[in-house]
Structure 1
């Protein structure tokens, strides 16, 4: 009788998958609520602006956008939510990879008027650095994916998605796009194809790997 030599089991690959949309924001909101339940009750009752409220609305927005993004999976897209990058607590709200390319999505749940004029974004008349931060996120994702796949070229597009108020866009920023959440899915699906199925699979595999985001 012959016995087949047992093959060693491969080590499990650590991944960033399995995280829920808005998970980091929701965890932080719940932490604040649990630390001061009575205060949280009254601040919610009177809709006062607190850190707990900000984190709660942020989580709501990410969950709304995350649910929309799940609709594009059957169309050959890979979707990751709440991707943790590096070791200092940074995260990407959403990362999607599909035939048109790679998109980093930052979600904002704002109640005030949003005005966009090129790289300048104003909320209730006050400037916000959303474009600058999203450009940095997109470049960081590009570096990480290039290093992980050893590709020489890759364009990563940043999308700033407003989950509540529709922005007044006088002029789009140079390197990112500002859109309302209702424009997200049709906008992504309507983009021209730039990547093959093999390219998408390679980039998606890299996005799943823990080591890709260790920068």
Structure 2
């Protein structure tokens, strides 16, 4: 390691391969960027448990949580597999949520976190709570792009299979027409991948993994100074703030509910006392 790289490490960043890149890196960055514009939280905000997340950052926050959940599933694939997260592509900020390589081939996983939503899939249509999305088109485009980039690097054709991973949905229903991409809930991803037949030798998998973990395979900027740890720590602090605010809101809601019940019981006792007094007076 040269002096320049040592100096970079000393400042908390290091040039690394994509194998070291943590899940949801890109969406965490955008979430934290948007959240940075939020005004400082006051004592009243904390006391009442007001939600700390800016509305503009909420979809990015949910997206990061979804990618992290899928990454945990992929961690269980085993040593025969290579899993890369938040793979940067092109020349800008675009990325692929997960690239997975193993004996059955190469896969791009597009994670969609639709918490407690109803999902319907049929043909090229992917609907969430009745609203049409571009998820299938984007997943096909993502896999085709990955295939072009890997093929160019390998010097021969490399097929890539697109997979749409749905996180947190209340239900997933399929129409009669088969979608052109694989659509799976997060819990089924690992089992599905392991069930596929091998199409690559161990040597081919090792070679493709070596190419895939190089940033230059995917992005015009071949060198990256990665400060993943700092972003993860900031995102985890944000998660703790959100969880604490949620607990406070639930406590206040429970207190209000108990107070309402107590007030109703008190009113009932007062009414009953009045009735009994009237009855006693009439008997006397």
The TM-score bracket by the shorter chain reads 0.7 to 0.9
Question: What TM-score do the two structures reach when normalised by structure 2?
Answer: 0.65
1: CA distance, partners of 2:166 / 2:191? 15
Structure 2 residue 147 is the aligned partner of structure 1 residue 145 = no
SS at match of 2:109: strand
Larger strand percent: 1
For residue 5 of structure 1, what is the aligned residue in structure 2?
none
How far the C-alpha of 1:199 sits from its partner, in A, is 0.8
Q: Is the 8 A contact 1:107 1:160 kept in 2?
A: yes
Question: What TM-score do the two structures reach when normalised by structure 1?
Answer: 0.85
SS at match of 2:75: helix
Aligned length: 200
Q: Is the 8 A contact 2:98 2:110 kept in 1?
A: yes
How far the C-alpha of 1:214 sits from its partner, in A, is 2.9
Name the Cα RMSD after superposition.
Answer: 2.4
Structure 2 residue 162 is the aligned partner of structure 1 residue 168 = no
How far the C-alpha of 1:38 sits from its partner, in A, is 5.1
For residue 129 of structure 2, what is the aligned residue in structure 1?
124
2: CA distance, partners of 1:47 / 1:115? 32
Larger helix percent: 2
Q: Name structure 1 gaps, 5 residues minimum.
A: 1-8
How far the C-alpha of 1:87 sits from its partner, in A, is 1.1
For the pair shown, which has the larger CA radius of gyration, 1 or 2?
2
For residue 21 of structure 2, what is the aligned residue in structure 1?
19
Q: Deviations over 1:95-142 (max 9, x none)?
A: 000000000000000132110011101111111011111111100100
Instruction: Write out the 4+ residue segments of structure 1 that deviate beyond 2 Å after TM superposition.
Output: 12-17, 44-51
For residue 159 of structure 1, what is the aligned residue in structure 2?
163
